Amino acid sequence: MTPSGPSEALPKRRAILRMVHALAESGVPVEALASALPGSKFRSVPGVLTGEELWQAFRTRHQQAEERRKRWFLDEPVHSAEETWVLFSNWGLNTETVLEALVALRPDAVSFRAADRRGGPQGSESAGSRPSAASASSTSSRGMPSR
């Protein structure tokens, strides 16, 4: 939740992507984002790249086969200084834990609430639930909801 209110319920992958973008836009360094995300699910390439140029640089640097292209949010990278960061698009049972780690970076700017399997908000935010969707909300520095 933020002063601008919650977003619509989002699939797990979209909730994490929205949270990452909101945090980056609020000034959280990409290195902090990378440390909050598990393993190699947030990777960078040198330069400010988009489109096919981004995929080719990413594919080469991280040794990705063409069939793995759809597993990365290449169409929604995070640009920081002279680097382009790309988030993995497949998330499993640790989604809620990852969202909690991201919120800890700027609890004053972002929050989330898990949704039940039918897509509606749960009555509580229990850590043991397995959300099929999550809601992430944020406000950019201009006071507008991010992405």
d(CA 98, CA 142): 26
**Distances in whole angstroms, Cα of residue 45 to Cα of each of 21, 30, 94:** 17, 12, 26
Is 44 within a domain? yes
Is 124 within a domain? no
Domain that holds residue 50: 11-112
pTM of the model: 0.78
Which strands form 42-46's sheet, in the order they lie side by side?
A: 42-46, 83-87, 78-80
Half-sphere exposure of 50 (CA within 13 A, CB side): 4
What pLDDT, on a 0 to 100 scale, did the predictor assign at position 144? Answer: 30
Is 122 within a domain? no
Is 144 within a domain? no
What pLDDT, on a 0 to 100 scale, did the predictor assign at position 5? Answer: 55
Question: Phi and psi at residue 102, in whole multiples of 5°?
Answer: -70, -45
d(CA 124, CA 8): 17
d(CA 124, CA 101): 18
Domain count, the chain: 1
Q: How far apart are the first and last CA of the chain?
A: 15
Question: pLDDT tens track of the chain, all 147 residues?
Answer: 433 457 788 899 999 999 999 999 999 999 999 999 998 999 999 999 999 999 999 999 999 999 999 999 999 999 999 999 999 999 988 899 999 999 999 999 899 888 765 544 443 333 333 333 344 444 433 333 333
Is 136 within a domain? no
Is 125 within a domain? no
What pLDDT, on a 0 to 100 scale, did the predictor assign at position 2? Answer: 37
d(CA 46, CA 58): 9
> With contact defined as beta carbons under 8 Å apart, do 116 and 122 qualify?
yes
What pLDDT, on a 0 to 100 scale, did the predictor assign at position 116? Answer: 66
Is 100 within a domain? yes
- DSSP-derived letter for residue 144 is S
> With contact defined as beta carbons under 8 Å apart, do 17 and 86 qualify?
no
